[in-house]
Structure 1
Amino acid sequence: MAVDEQAAISVLRAAGLTSVGVLGRGVEGVVLDLGDGTAAKVWSSRSRADLDLLRTFYEGIEAGRLADSSVMLPLIVDVLEVEGHLVSIERRLDGEPVWQADGSSPDLSTTDIDVMTEALAALAAIPAQPAFLALPMLPGEPAFGPGAAFETQLADLVARRVTRFEQALAAAHPRVADTAASTIAALRSLETAPPTLVHGDLIAANVLRTGGRATAVLDFGFLSTAGDPAFDAAIAASVYDMWGPRARDVERTLDDAWCAAFGYSRERLLVYRAAYALITACCFGEDGSDGHFAWCIAMLDRRDVQDAIRG
């Protein structure tokens, strides 16, 4: 059931906890500041099993995080069940979002780019841990397993998702079978990258900043795993501005910065964008009516994406 701010405060009161302010609210729940360096998230829809897996994932991050890193990452210290609600007690993460999408296109400053670059570097500095394979890649999909390369497992995920949603995808992108085959082949041909922590959904709102420095990265769980850090860079550049009138310019600017900073090839980023579009297009519905589906189809229709997957 959905939880609003007042309901969340009541749940905390029943648990003997007191909130000193609201830190955030969304579809998944409400986050309240406990005033002691921790925060309580009152969840709307997650199961206890989901939160146990997320806790394991975050413990893996903490084990691998560099001691001198200034970018803080989530950590669940306890999970409570209160009056039918699940409540996670977590490390409080401070700062303001880099940018909140509002339908416009941002005027990217050098500082904006530097903060996002710092966040990507912090994730890429954490080597793969077994716990990073705790989470399912998407609802209804298994977690990636140990032993096989990220690039190969991503190719397998593309194949499964296209088979599962072929009718919806083909209605909007008639050559989906050919696009999928080319994407799978391109993924399998990529040189295997040393696996590190992958966020998977690094929108600008998931990166917190104070001034010109990144302070935290939030909200793992959607495509979070151990894999190629270039995947995070590819998706972050594209989803920073998904809907604005200058979205392609924003993506291009971030690509320039991250190819220079990390040595990624543009072709690799484009192959990952094709894979992302194929695997996530039907995450929020199968009838093709939602905006994310349309965005993914537009990505698959792009000439540069098609050129990259065909080599």
Structure 2
Amino acid sequence: MELIGQGMEGAVYDLGDGRVRKIWFDRRPDDVRPLKAFLDELPPLPFRTPRIHEITADADGQAVSEEDLLTGTALQESGVAEEQALDAFVAVVEALRATVAGPASKALPVLNQPFWREDLSWGEALAALVRRRAAESRHHFRRDVPDFDNLLETLTTRLATIEPDRLSVVHGDICQPNLLMDGPRTAAVLDWGFYSTAGDNTFDAALAAGFFDMYGPDAQRLDNLLLDRFERLGHDRQRMYLYRAAYAITTATIYDADAGDGHYVWCVGNLNRLPR
């Protein structure tokens, strides 16, 4: 087996027969089965998506999954021109907009926490997640975000009122490393499950615009370009700002509980740019 990738959740090895083996670092087989059900439920899309064929356990009880090998070049390494790369982001979000989320989408945890409850709407479920995650990072936010407590109250109140016309499949992490390209065409979309759920497609639009270039010198220009494009496609700009703030609060310290990394700085920047 050849190691072809490693991330926070596991290491991926090429089996040489069109499949890969993923050895999960901190997941048991029962933890991975809801993701398999979600991926099996995905409708046909204009790009390939992961498929898990088998889930077993290693000697320590950690999950091992065998999946399809998805080929292509990560967008940031593909040499695709800026306009074509922006087109690819928009096309992925719009393809997901046409989907209808099924029960396996609602069964997925979000950020490793239960998300949907039968008595909650999409907006209420997202507001509840924001409140839970804010409680874990409040001392950092109070230091770095002016009037954070009032911002949190206003944000969660507004989120709880959102009721999209229908629930689409949300990827939740549309970024350049997760788009595999074949020339200017998106061949595959990777890494579902971190924030994947049934929800409002505008959530993916809001995040994709911010993720296209998070840390580069042109980040704000490219963010605004994509927000403008998504707005022209019918995504409400104020709702996109709300969703970006929700993401910022829920993930700010997910990689570093001490708020010492670049992701936290990016999240705080988005909160401080939020129209009040």
Q: Determine the structure 2 residue equivalent to 1:29.
A: 10
Name the counterpart of 1:78: 54
Aligned residues: 274
Change (3 A) 1:247 1:197: same
**Paired residues for 1:166-181 under 5 Å:** 166-181=138-153
Distance across 2 between alignment mates of 1:90 and 1:301: 41
TM-superposition CA deviations, 1:149-194 (whole Å, max 9, x none):
2122111222222234322321222411111111112223435241
Tell me the residue number matched to 1:133: 106
Pair 1:265-2:246 in alignment: no
Counterparts of 2:205 and 2:83, CA distance in 1: 17
**What is the DSSP-based 3-state SS (H/G/I as helix, E as strand, rest coil) of the residue aligned with 2:53?**
strand
**Contact 1:113-1:257 within 8 A present in 2 as well:** no
RMSD between superposed Cα atoms in Å: 2.1
Residue aligned with 2:213, SS: coil
- Counterpart secondary structure, 1:117: helix
Q: CA offsets per residue over residues 259-311 of structure 1, 9 Å max, x none?
A: 22x31121111111111111111212332222211211111111xx223xxxx
Partner Cα separation in structure 2 for residue 122 and residue 207 of structure 1:
13
Q: CA separation of 1:147/1:214 partners in 2, compared to 1, >3 Å: closer, same or farther?
A: farther
Deviations 1:91-125 (A, max 9, x none): 2212111126xxxxx99622112222222123222
Residue type of the partner of 1:220? W
Is contact 2:122–2:162 with CA below 8 Å preserved after alignment? no
Residue of structure 1 in register with 2:168 after alignment = 196
Identity in percent: 35
Larger Rg: 1
| Stretch moving more, 117-126 or 193-202 | 117-126
Matched with 1:94 is 71
- C-alpha distance in 2, partners of 1:221/1:191? 23
* 1:178 alignment partner, SS class: helix
2:275 alignment counterpart? 306
1:109 aligns with 2:109: no
Instruction: Give 1:1-311 correspondences, 5 Å limit.
Output: 19=1, 21-61=2-42, 65-66=43-44, 69-84=45-60, 86-99=63-76, 109-139=82-112, 141-146=113-118, 148-260=120-232, 262-302=233-273, 305-307=274-276
Q: Secondary structure at the match of 2:263?
A: helix
Letter matched to residue 154 of structure 2: S
Opposite residue 53 of structure 2, the aligned amino acid is V
Shift of 1:89: 0.5
Q: Contact (CA 8 Å) 1:33, 1:40: kept in 2 or not?
A: yes
CA distance in 2, matches of 1:151, 1:193: 12
266-275 or 276-285, which moves further after superposition?
A: 276-285
Q: Is the 8 A contact 2:130 2:246 kept in 1?
A: yes
Name the SS of the counterpart of 1:111 in structure 2: helix
Q: 1:120 to 1:136 in 2, by over 3 A?
A: same
Mind listing any 5+ residue stretches in structure 2 that lack a counterpart?
A: none
Identify if the C-alpha distance between structure 1 residues 83 and 163 changes in structure 2 by more than 3 Å, giving closer, same or farther: closer
Q: CA deviation at 1:240?
A: 1.7
Question: Structure 1: 5+ residue runs without aligned partners?
Answer: 1-18, 101-105
Amino acid at match of 1:297: V
Q: Contact 2:12–2:20 (CA<8 Å) still a contact in 1? A: yes
Change (3 A) 1:121 1:55: same
